[in-house]
Chain A
């Protein structure tokens, strides 16, 4: 589904390279976790894949279902079924969640020659998704993320994911700032959305999230590269020993990846 080959990226207009040759392959039905210390480039990876204009790809390619999407705008990537749950969801005052989601849903439907939903049909559809994240419908009437608590913002991201039903989702530190109850609700939501047809890439600092959402693969990212991949035991190893130790070991072994 997603294949990232030797991806290099810089901040637009600057020389400093943030991604230094990332390789990653994600298939349908898989859940991946990317772990790494601050500044390792994991959030940047999710933004570059979803087409943030602040970054420029200098080398390599991003293939999505075989198509190179490196040059596509963010909305065009979204039309293909790419979703990013933001680490810091953005406030948009005066526009309700409902309006955003109806616009988004129908725009994506149009782009894929699927039928759009009229407001009444959409109402039924969106109501049916409220359960995924245990949300009250008054939530739909609130302006996008405006005045939301940190936990509500993160829940809202997963709710949007449920409504838009993406093919591939990047969850950028969705667990950060959540208390244990909220973490459970959010994780339950993600587990309900995950199926054989879609794929999820979680980006996180902590192993904690992985107790609730079980990844098939765990990757460790450091200094703009994925330096090690494995299964859940890799996360456990990290939790026990920390990133420093892993980095030193790898340096000793001269292992690049």
Chain B
């Protein structure tokens, strides 16, 4: 299992701080001897950890700001508008201006709100999203921590946002918000299950829950090896990050902004931040688990590969968001339980059988070779096409009954110009 010192960033900071830790720092620090004596190694450890946490938070905030700007510009292009273009080059500082404006707004708490819950909810919303980034490998040797239960950690942490939504809805003592909160709980609970199961396919092939290991296993990206798993995971990721066609919790045209209705100032800003950060997190997870993460071809550095793929996924998510209408809540639930759940089980079954067939008894823990992955991919694509067709048949909307379309309307038959007498409302038949 990789330790903290396998992380190149962490090692650099640590080795520069500690005087002489030859066991851990092979080449020593950049300045020869470190600053701190050896018996203060724990301090060096802590400082390095803080520096990295600071870096991750700020990098994430910065990327959210860039994402919001890109989101608005792309959205404008989709709608034949110019988008923000006044403040900074290409309007890049608009988000900064918005953030400053949001901070200086009056913070209103409704009189009947449950103050404690109302105030904690935005914090609880932001924290899990940021925690996801702790386990994501951004490049070769560029990760904060390579947990051996990385995937499990992500699934566990992201389900915390359900709690935040319910708290926001309950705390604001607003009926519309309660509706939104209930919808959100139903949605997130339902989509958690196919999401978790669809990842299991990738976990089985990689033989590990660690995200670093999953990336290493992808000689062939898992989007090719298990298209069903990718499809289900991508749909669930859209749902989990409250995007159309699953944005029933925010449902602007029905509920205003749902659970966000009563929030203002920076509390609203935190929800806003969490929403976009969740989008980035979803894209990062999809990239890592299904698009072979940071792997790419020389000479482009691995970090660029990662962020390039992530950008492509984000663009796809934006495209869907800008153009698609929303599903009805009952249809959203129906899709999760009638469609995605079955699909993900089929994916699990077919991948599981092939993992059992190809597994090497003598060398447990060995990764599958590219050839084996290609064979799996071929079989899985056949399964993909067949199962999508079958599920499509089951879930297809009911066509109009032919009788209804052909039934002549008794009152004014088409083509007859005489106006027949209309029975008065309430008259006996």
B and A form one assembly: no
